[in-house]
Amino acid sequence: MENLQNWLSLPPKYTTFRINRLKSFNSDILKDFLTTQTNELHTSVIPNFYFLNLDCLVLERWPEDSLDVTVEYQGKEIIVDALCAAAVLRGANVFAPGVVGLPVNCNLNEKVKIYGDLEGHCKRGLKIAYTGKKLFVGTGLLKMLRYELFDNGVQPSGIAVQTIMPISRLPVINEAIYPEGVLVLQNLPSIVCGWVVDARPNEYILDMCAAPGNKTTHLAEMSNDEAIIIALDKTPQKIVKIKENCSKQGVQCVKAYSFDSTKCFSSNSTGINGSPPYPSHSFDKVLLDAPCSGLGQRPQLMNKMTPKMLESYKFVQRKLMSAAVQVLKSGGRLIYSTCTVTVDENEGMVLWALEKFPCLKLVRADPLHGSPGLQGCGLSDEQRMMVQRFSPEIDPLRPTEPIYRDTIGFFIATFTKI
């Protein structure tokens, strides 16, 4: 448990991007960008990058002895919320909604120190130095002034600080170095999840909890934009985001609807070609990337999850699973995934589903890149080998490559309907 907690508090050593196979990708653009960034940082070492698949780009951090990132530069400090600080440690710029405090009399393009508010106590718009618990996460160049962030009466947007270097030494890569929709920042297990679904042309696929649409567009691209994909999310604003992402990435085979997926099945529904709900035996594949406690996200700088909140997720997941089973065709595949590390939401859900639905059979979640399911949680060794859990542990039942043990915490299981 201590090993897991330490692992969750640190950012992964890699950044992964999904490459849109519907568009053209030129690796020389990335190489030139990294060379320029290397020169600006006065080092001779260019970060390594490589491909795990045609659609998965891996970018390594700078070697430890190539850059001194531990020194906090002289200059003004900007306070960001914990989620924003975690993103900076993953190699992201600071976007305006994440900024909490900024001194007065700052200038555009002035170098600033970026601190994360670890307790959530910094009041928005703070002008003086914050004395609460904070963590230095990197340095950057200020791109927005106080009045733009706090004084104009509207929710700010855009890049507030261009990150120069996070203390994690991960390169700061903006997707905008490529034409729109070519490169998508996405966690490695989420990309693996798309590989497990393995969308094919002409398949009817339901993505039950699709926002913001990264997995949805991945499935579309895998099928060469020839699958029939229904994407659901009950929040209308999130459906707008899914449609925006489809447009950016050149995806046309997705239909997105604002709808509660727990109610996506109806015995009175007559067809699949319109809006939900849908009749039984409608879809060849169902992706249930379930709402979860999110306790696999890294780095976790602050966690306000209560036991009551933690307990609540499995009940929503069970409702979604029940609906998924109803709309799945006989012989179809149901892929269940979460970005959390709890047993109740992962191995526990597998056990519950197999007991609740005799028509479900657990099958291998190929390609198997993660570790087996946890031992001692009710799954047999045969069943543990069929699922994959992304975590730091090395399980002799199926040893995994180091890169798949240095991701976010994630879980994938696949069922077929008999």
Write out the catalytic residue numbers. 339
For every residue of 374-397, DSSP letters joined together read: PTTSS--HHHHTTSEEESS---TT
| Binding-site sequence positions for S-adenosyl-L-methionine | 209-215, 233, 260, 289
The structure tokens listed for 392 are 């730091």
- Cβ neighbors of 122 (< 8 A, separation 6 or more) are 79, 100, 101, 130, 132, 134
| Binding-site sequence positions | 209-215, 233, 260, 289
- Cβ neighbors of 275 (< 8 A, separation 6 or more) are 257, 259
Alpha helices in 207-330 (DSSP H): 214-222, 236-248, 307-327
Instruction: Measure the CA–CA gap between 49 and 61, rounded to whole angstroms.
Output: 9
Instruction: Measure the CA–CA gap between 283 and 333, rounded to whole angstroms.
Output: 9
What is the β-pairing status of strands 283-289 and 204-207? parallel
CA angle 278, 283, 287 (to 5 degrees): 100
Instruction: Measure the CA–CA gap between 322 and 329, rounded to whole angstroms.
Output: 14
